[in-house]
Structure 1
Amino acid sequence: MAKRILAVDDNEDILDVLNLMLTIDGYQVETSLSPASIEKQITDFQPDLILLDIQMGSYNGLEICKELKNNLYSSSIPVIIISSDDSIYHAVEKYGADGIIEKPFEMNTLLNKAATFTEGRSTGYRRASA
């Protein structure tokens, strides 16, 4: 089964490029222009990796990353922050991101990081046991 990647960015062109390149590389990709329903997307899509921008209108991807990492059901899903914002350098230490990719980015960098963080993962989302 193909590894699943959820990409969230408010730039449709970036999402199109991510979708195309990751799909060609064998991933199943879901994209979103807004993190408003990210919890539902995680529940429904069960990603093995989340790619998250920082500045998305009124949403701050770093704060969303921190919330995901503090949530029992999504904390085990790797999150890579992709941004040109200088605050990206605090993403791992302060917000719990698993990695960063600076925009503009090289496709090989993206594909190598995606492979690193999805290797050996069977599923992303973990439901609580009843």
Structure 2
Amino acid sequence: MAKRIFVLEDDHDIRDVFELLLKEEGYELELSSSFSELKELLKKSVPDLFVIDVMLPDANGIDVCKDLKAQSATRNIPVIVMSANARSKQMSVQACADDYIGKPFDIAHVMNKIDKLLLKPL
């Protein structure tokens, strides 16, 4: 069964990159551009991994990560936080994120992080 990834990113171009990349690698994917959209998706199912941008229209990705790690249904699901702000890396550690991606990012680097967290053979 394919692993499911929820990507929370408000930049349309970055969401498109993730969609192409992850579907090509055989992952199931749910895309959202706001925290409110993500909350609606979570009412239907939970993923195997979250990829969350820090700067969102209706939330801060660091706070979203903290919220996910505080809830029993999602606390054990790996979260990758991504940001163009270097300070966000330290904040993501404090939010208990499982990994961090700096923007701009290298696609191979991102895939290695995702595959590692989902224990997919490289």
TM-score normalised over the length of structure 2: 0.91
Query: How far has the Cα of 1:58 moved from its partner?
Result: 3.5
Paired position in structure 2 for 1:56: 56
**1:81–1:91 contact (8 Å) kept in structure 2:** no
Structure of greater relative contact order (alpha carbons < 8 Å, 6+ residues apart): 1
Question: Structure 1 stretches (4+) deviating beyond 4 angstroms?
Answer: none
Gaps of 5+ in 1: 121-130
Over aligned residues, Cα RMSD in angstroms?
1.4
Structure 1 residue 13: Cα displacement: 0.7
Structure 2 CA distance for aligned equivalents of residues 115 and 51 of structure 1 = 13
Unpaired runs of at least 5, structure 2:
none
Secondary structure at the aligned position of 1:59 is classed as: coil
Q: TM-score, normalised by structure 1?
A: 0.86
State the partner residue of 1:100: 100
Alignment match, 1:113: 113
Give the partner amino acid of 1:33: S
- The whole-number CA distance in structure 2 between the counterparts of 1:41 and 1:77 is 15
SS at match of 2:40: helix
Which residues in structure 2 correspond to 1:9-88 (within 5 Å)? 9-88=9-88
Question: Aligned partner of 2:20: which letter?
Answer: L
Contact 1:5 1:51 (8 Å CA) reproduced: yes
Name the amino acid aligned to 1:44: K
Displacement after TM superposition at 1:113 (Å): 0.8
Shift of 1:34: 0.7
